[in-house]
Structure 1
Amino acid sequence: MPFLREDGAPLDELPLAQRPADGYRFALRAPVVYVDDPSGRRYRAPAAGEAPPPSGITDLASVPTPLWGLIASYGRQSAPAVLHDAQSLSAAALGDRDAALAQRREDDDVFHRALREQGVPVLRARLMWAWVSADRERTYGGWRGWLLLAQVALGVVAIVASIVLAILAGPAWLLLLPVPALAALAWGGLARLVVALTYPLALLGPVLAVQLLAVGVFRLVEAVVELLAGGNVRSVVRPTVAPEPDERAG
């Protein structure tokens, strides 16, 4: 079901205010509603001011700035991201790690369905779901969460190694490719998350490396120019974060 306004009308615009005017967070000016088709449950992202901050405050899709060239922080994913931020705050406010973990697992699946309903491509939606789900397991899963991430890292190494060895020593090494997927079965319901993290990270690793290298070179040149111009070099590192008033270029 499409996103709705509070009065039930289709959401024809996402009312956001940049806070502060040169910052990287946004205040939701009016509530946003989403009805999840499979469950029939109604979700609501409150507007800023309805509850104490950070309720109603969002950074949209929490994509690291160096990767914005691959997945933008806003776009068709904006409404699902705003809703997910609100639900994440709700889970954190429960004060119980197990309860928060259970709620986040449900909310992350809703996030994925909402992304697809908004027309976000399959792979991009899956990657965004995997990213927030990995963060969820790291935050609330305790040692099991860290173990899951360690297995993902080992799986990435195994996939990359099998491809490299296949090139150097023969295609028989490609028989190792299904091993991370088989090992993921030990996680039961989380197996799809392990697979969704492992294989894209291994196969898209070169793309990510090129993107980060390009951004790194640009940031370095930008920092040198800023230094020579007598500006604030620290403003180059995170360009979406506003500098303190005494750090702004004169």
Structure 2
Amino acid sequence: MGRFFDVADGGPVRLEVRSVDGRDFTLLRRIGYLSDDYDQPFVVPIDLERFRTDFASVPWIFTWLVPRSGRYAAAAVLHDAIVVEGDYDGPVIDRVEADRIFRVALRELGTPVLRSWLMWAAVSIATMWTMPQRRWRWRGAVVLLIGMVTAVGLVATGDLFDLWSVLPWMGERSLAAELAAGAAAAVVVPSVLALSWGRFARAGIITGVALAFLVHVTLAIVALFGLYRLAERLVSGPTPSVAPADR
């Protein structure tokens, strides 16, 4: 385990930030995190040239599930720093270990269990995507799992509504039996595909199962957002690419 603290006075952490561009922020006070696994604390600096954060880097389609900020904001700031050597002061660690520390810190800040593991799985995907060794192997595993789970989920939906009969575990059964079989498959299929993630298999299982159950909600949000953007464009007109000059 560990604890966050204010570097200036050693008291409770105080997260004070200043906006850089409306999306990224820089710290006004250094924050520290002391892990039980290390003798030295991790310290996030206030130097704009060294470090800036966007809090939790959550794609917009998932912000309904995991907002960009919340009680876990300090953990998100810490993670943004310790994933890059030189962006913080403290023990030198690799990105996989930074992800683990992030998961522990989330729980210490009171983040619910499911949300903390989902957030950890998300940053693990980013770590896989940027791995310098066998990069395309890891990226291929990510794309395969996400693509296959999405495709199977959509096919299963069509099977449920008798648009076709393709998946053997669905078949011609009662609605309750098909829903139960679909839920079981939503756990088993991603878990099998996650084996291709190797040492990241646990993150793959979490990602795949979550996607299997949330794929329809996610697609609905994408569709609704697309309709909103279309309506906004019709009402407001095209967004100027260059701001008008001051007069």
TM range (shorter): 0.7 to 0.9
Aligned to 2:103: 112
Does the 8 A contact of 2:138 with 2:197 survive in 1? no
DSSP-derived class of the 2:42 partner: strand
Shift of residue 108, structure 1, vs aligned partner: 0.7
Shift of residue 162, structure 1, vs aligned partner: 5.3
Equivalent positions of 1:90-129 (< 5 A) are 90=85, 103-129=94-120
DSSP-derived class of the 2:77 partner: helix
Does 2:244 match 1:246? yes
User: What whole-Å deviation, never above 9, does each CA across 1:83-135 have from its counterpart, x for those lacking one?
Assistant: 11111232799xxxxxx9x7111001111111111112222222211111111
Does 2:9 match 1:3? no
Unaligned runs of 5+ in 2: 160-166
Shift of residue 168, structure 1, vs aligned partner: 5.0
Does the 8 A contact of 1:30 with 1:47 survive in 2? yes
Runs (4+) of structure 1 exceeding 6 A deviation are none
Aligned to 1:209: 219
**Structure-2 change in CA distance of 1:180 and 1:64 (3 Å):** closer
Aligned mates of 1:126, 1:10 — CA distance in 2: 25
Shift of residue 41, structure 1, vs aligned partner: 5.3
Unaligned runs of 5+ in 1: 94-99, 235-242
**Structure-2 change in CA distance of 1:247 and 1:48 (3 Å):** farther
Aligned mates of 1:139, 1:123 — CA distance in 2: 25
Aligned to 2:123: 132
Does the 8 A contact of 1:148 with 1:194 survive in 2? no
Shift of residue 15, structure 1, vs aligned partner: 0.7
TM-score (norm 1): 0.75
Shift of residue 67, structure 1, vs aligned partner: 3.3
Aligned to 2:203: 193
- Find the structure with the greater CA-based Rg: 2
- Which letter maps to 1:204? L
TM-score (norm 2): 0.76
Equivalent positions of 1:61-80 (< 5 A) are 61-80=56-75
Aligned mates of 2:55, 2:147 — CA distance in 1: 31
Aligned to 2:162: none
Aligned to 1:169: 172
DSSP-derived class of the 2:3 partner: coil
User: What whole-Å deviation, never above 9, does each CA across 1:37-71 have from its counterpart, x for those lacking one?
Assistant: 3556521211124xxx2x22111111123433332
**Structure-2 change in CA distance of 1:154 and 1:220 (3 Å):** closer
- State the number of aligned residues: 223
Does 2:20 match 1:19? yes
User: What whole-Å deviation, never above 9, does each CA across 1:147-193 have from its counterpart, x for those lacking one?
Assistant: 32133125514752456445553458657552432343454422101
Does 2:174 match 1:178? no
